[in-house]
Chain A
Amino acid sequence: MLKLILAQGMLGLNNGVFYAMLSLGLAVIFGLLNVVNFAHGALYMSGAFLALILYSYLGVWIGLDDFHVNFWFALILVPSMVGGLGMIIERTLLKWLYRFDPIYSLLLTFGITLILQGLFINFFSASGTPYPGQPESLKGVVNLGFMVFPKYRLFAIVFSIAVCLAVWFVIERTRIGALLRAGTENPDLVKAFGINVPLMVTLTFGFGTALAGLAGVLAAPIYSVSPLMGADLIIIIFAVVVIGGMGSIMGSVVSGFALGLIEGVTKVFYAPAANTVIFFLMVVVLLVRPAGLFGRQT
C-alpha cells in the first residue's frame, strides 16, 4: 500500500511539474499586467509543437532529411520563440485593452487560443504525434525502490523545480524583481523614477509565455504532442492559480506541485475522484480564504 501511494505520488509530482510551471507563468503575468492570459495553454501547446517541428519536420522542409534540432537546443530555442510570440501578442493586441475591464483581455486571449488550436489541428490533425527526440542520455529507467521510474520524467521534475526556484528568486530577491513588483503596485510612481514601464510589461509578458513554451518542450517527450494538450490543462491551471492566490509566485509553485501530488494519491484511494479533487479543493479554498492560500487578503 505504501509503495502504491509513493508510486502514484511520484506520477502526481510529475504532473505537478506542468501545473507549477504553467501557473507560475500565469501568476507572473497576472501579477504585473492584471491580465488573465487564457492563451497560456495554447502557448504551452505551441511550445511542444515547436519542439516537434524542430526535430521532425524542419529538416525535411529545408531538404536535409537527417537534420534534427535536438532536445537540448529546443529547450533554449523554443522558449525564446514562444516568448517572442508572446511579446508580439502583447505589443500588437493586448496593450490596447489595458484601460478596459480585464474581461476584454481574457476574451482576446481566449480567441488567440482558438486560433492557435485551429491552426495546429489543420496542419497536424487532432490526434497526438509522438515526439521522437528524447535524448539518449535520458532514456531508460531508474529503480526508486518502490517503483521503476523513467529517467526522463525524473529529469523533468528536478529541472522544473530548479526553474521555479530561480524565477521565485529573481522576482522576490533581486532589484529587477523589486522593480517589477513596484510596477504592479503603482505603475505611475515607478514611471516617475524613469523606468520604462510599457517595456517592462512587454518583457514580463514575454517571460511568462516563455515559461509556457519551456513547459511545452518538457512535456513533448512524455505526452503525445496534440493541438488540444493545452486546452485539457488550462482549466486545472486556473484552479491551481486560484488556490495558490492570484498573482502569488510562491503560491502557484507550491500549489502546483502539491495539487499534482494530491491528485496522484487520490488515485490510490478512489480513482474516479482524481479528476475532481482539485476543483473540490478550489471550492473549499475560495470559501475559507477567498484570496487563495498565499494571496494577500485585501
Chain B
Amino acid sequence: MKSLFYGSVCAAALSLGAGAAFADGISDDVVKIGVLGDMSGVYSTGFSGEGAVAAVKMAVEDFGGTVLGKKIEVISADHQNKADVASATARQWIDEDHVDMITDLTNSAVALAVQQLASEKKVISIATGAATSDLTGKACTKYGIHYGYDTHALPVGTATAIVKEGGDSWYFITADYAFGHALQDNTSEVVEKLGGTVVGSSDVPLASTDFSSYLLQAQSSGAKVIALANAGQDTVNSIKQANEFGIVAGGQQLAGMLVLISDVKSLGTDVANGLSFTSAWYWNHDEESRAWKEKYMAYSNNAAPTFPHAADYSLTMAYLKAIEAAGTDDADAVREQLGKMKIDDFFAKGGTIRKDGLLLHDMYLLQVEPGKEDPWDVAKVVRTIPGDEAYFSLADGGCALTQE
C-alpha cells in the first residue's frame, strides 16, 4: 500500500514535468469563486447579473459542492461597469478574501483591468461577458482566460453572411469604449476583406437612451447596412428606435453585432424579425442544451438562458475538473491542466483553451424567427461556424506569450 502511494506520487510528479513544483492541495481549505459582474446596469439581464451567479452556483452544486474534499464557495459583487470599482473589488477579493478564481467580468474595460491585476497576483481570471479580443491578443496574460466569444468571432459569421447577400456599404453605431471600438474595427476588417466599404460611424456613450439622432445620421449616410457595435439595452434601444423612425421600412438593413436572445425576446420577434446574429451557443440546438436550459431556468428562477450564462456554467465545471485533475487549486497547476483538457459539454464541443487564454470552439449564426411556441425560442441556427474560422489564429492574435 505504501509503495503504491509513493509510486503514484512519483508518477504525478513526473507528469507535471521537471521543475514544476506546485503547492499541493487546496489553499485555505476552501475554493472560492468570485463572480464580478454588472449586477444592475445595461448588461445585467443577459450577460451578467443574478443569472450569471445562478449559473456558477448551479455548476458548483452539480459538481457536488466540494472538490478534493474541500468546500467550494461562490461570492459575487457589482462592478457598476466601472473599471476602478472592479479593480478595487478584485484586489480585496484576492488580498483579503483569498479568492481563487474571478469570473464573469462583463464589460471589456472591466475585464482588461481585472485580468491584468489578477495575473500580477497569480490568480486565474475567466472572462465570459466581456467581448474584446484584446483579452487574448495584445493584453493576454498567463492566468487570463477568455471563455465563450470575442469581437473577432462575432462579425465573422454575421458580417460575412450580410456582405455576401449584397449588403456591401456599412455605417456603424458604436458603443464609445474599448468593446465598441474593438467590435467596429474587427467588423470593418471582415467587411473590407470581402470587398465592402465602411462609409461612416457614430460613437455613442454607454447606456444612452436616445439613439434617434445617430440613427438619422446613419440613415442619411445612405449605407445599405447599419451595424450596431453595441450590446445589451443599448442594442435593444437602437433597434426599437430604428423601427420608430421608419429606418428599416426605408430599405436599410440593421445588423446587430452582439445580440443576445434576451434582447430579441424583449424587442419581440416581430420587431426583430429577420435579424441575423452570431452566438456562442443556442439552447434549442441539441438535446443536451435543451435539457440544460430547462434545469437552469428552474434553478435560476427564470433567468435568461443566454450564451454567457451557459458559458458561466461550463467554465465553472471546467475549472473544478481541472482542480480535481491537478490535485491542487494552485493557479499554475490549474492553468496548465485547463490547457491540456478538452472542453466537451453542452456548451462547447471539443473546445480547447489555447496558450493565449482563448477558448477555441464553434460559433453559430442565428436568424430571428417569429411564431414559435417557447417564448425563448426566438431564432433558428442558420450555420455552424467552425472555431478555426471564427477566431484568430495563435500567430495573428499578437499575444506575447505565444512567441516564447
Q: With a CB–CB cut-off of 8 A, which chain B residues contact A272?
A: 203
A150 touches B244 (CB 8 A): yes
Distance, CA A125 to CA B237, complexed state (A): 17
Taking CB atoms, residues of chain B closer than 8 Å to A119 are none
Q: Are B213 and A127 in contact (CB under 8 A)?
A: no
Nearest CB of B to A155, in Å = 14
C-alpha spacing A296/B92, complex, angstroms:
57
Contacts of B245 in A (CB 8 A): 141, 147-150
A127 B44 Cβ-Cβ under 8 A:
yes
Which residues of chain B in 179-228 are interfacial with respect to chain A, using CB atoms and an 8 Å cutoff?
202-203, 207, 209-210, 212-213, 216-217, 220
Q: Given A127-B233, A141-B244, A8–B213 Cβ distance below 8 Å?
A: yes
The interface-forming segment of A156-164, A192-200, A202-210, A220-228 is A220-228
- Cα distance A11–B216 in the bound complex, in angstroms: 10
Across the interface, do B233 and A125 meet the contact criterion of CB distance under 8 Å? no
Mark interface residues in A163-185 (1 if CB within 8 Å of B CB, else 0): 00000000000000000000000
On chain A, the residues within 8 Å of B210 by CB distance are: 15, 222-223
Select one of B80, B209, B244 contacting A126, CB under 8 A: B80
Q: Which residues of B contact A267 (CB under 8 A)?
A: 213, 217
Count how many chain A residues have C-beta atoms less than 8 Å from C-beta atoms of the other chain: 27
Q: Is the C-beta of B359 less than 8 angstroms from some C-beta in chain A?
A: no
Report B95 CB to chain A, min CB distance, Å.
Answer: 27
Cβ proximity bits A1-42 to B, threshold 8 Å, 1 near / 0 not = 001100110010011000000000000000000000000000
CB neighbours (8 Å) of B249 from chain A are 148
User: Interface code B13-54, partner A: CB below 8 Å = 1, 0 otherwise?
Assistant: 000000000000000000000000000111010000000000
Residue of A nearest to B203 (CB): A272
Size band of the interface chain B makes with A: 20 to 34
Which A-chain residue is minimally distant from B249 (CB atoms)?
A148
With an 8 A cutoff between CB atoms, is A128 at the interface?
yes
Residue B246 is within 8 A (CB to CB) of chain A in the complex: yes
Closest to B247 in A: A148
A284 at interface (Cβ–Cβ under 8 A)? no
Q: Are A126 and B233 in contact (CB under 8 A)?
A: no
A273 within 8 A of B: no
A128 touches B207 (CB 8 A): yes
Cβ-based interface call for A264 (8 A): yes
Chain A: minimal CB distance from B79 (Å): 12
Contact for B246 among A3, A4, A141, CB less than 8 A = A141
A82 at the interface (CB under 8 A from B): no
In the complex, how many angstroms separate the beta carbon of B289 from the nearest chain A beta carbon?
28
- In the bound assembly, the distance between CA atoms of A222 and B211 in angstroms comes to 11
Complex contact A147–B207 (CB within 8 A): no
Is A226's CB under 8 angstroms from B209's CB? Answer: yes
Q: Are A229 and B209 in contact (CB under 8 A)?
A: yes
Of residues 223 to 266 in A, which have CB atoms within 8 Å of B's CB atoms? 223-224, 226, 229, 264
Contacting pair B41 A224 (CB below 8 A): no
Give A3 to B42 CA distance when docked, in angstroms: 33
Q: Taking CB as reference atom, which chain A residue is nearest B233? A: A127
Q: State A222–B210 Cα separation when bound (angstroms).
A: 8
Instruction: Pick the residue among B202, B244, B246 that contacts A271 (CB under 8 A).
Output: B202
A126 CB contacts on chain B under 8 angstroms:
40-41, 80
A121 CB–B CB distance under 8 Å: yes
Most A Cβ at <10 Å: residue of B213, B217, B237, B246? B213
Report the minimal beta-carbon distance from A216 to chain B, rounded to whole angstroms.
Answer: 13
0/1 interface trace, chain A 119-156, chain B, CB 8 Å (1 if under): 00100011110000000000001000001111000000
A271 to B214, CA, bound (A): 9
Residues of A near any B CB (own CB < 8 A): 3-4, 7-8, 11, 14-15, 121, 125-128, 141, 147-150, 222-224, 226, 229, 264, 267, 271-272, 274
Q: 9 closest A-B pairs (Cβ-Cβ)?
A: A148-B246, A223-B209, A125-B40, A4-B220, A127-B41, A224-B209, A150-B244, A127-B42, A126-B40
Add 14 more A-B contacts to A126-B40, A128-B209, A226-B209 (CB < 8 A). Answer: A8-B213, A11-B213, A125-B40, A125-B41, A125-B44, A126-B41, A127-B41, A128-B233, A141-B246, A148-B249, A224-B233, A226-B207, A271-B202, A271-B217
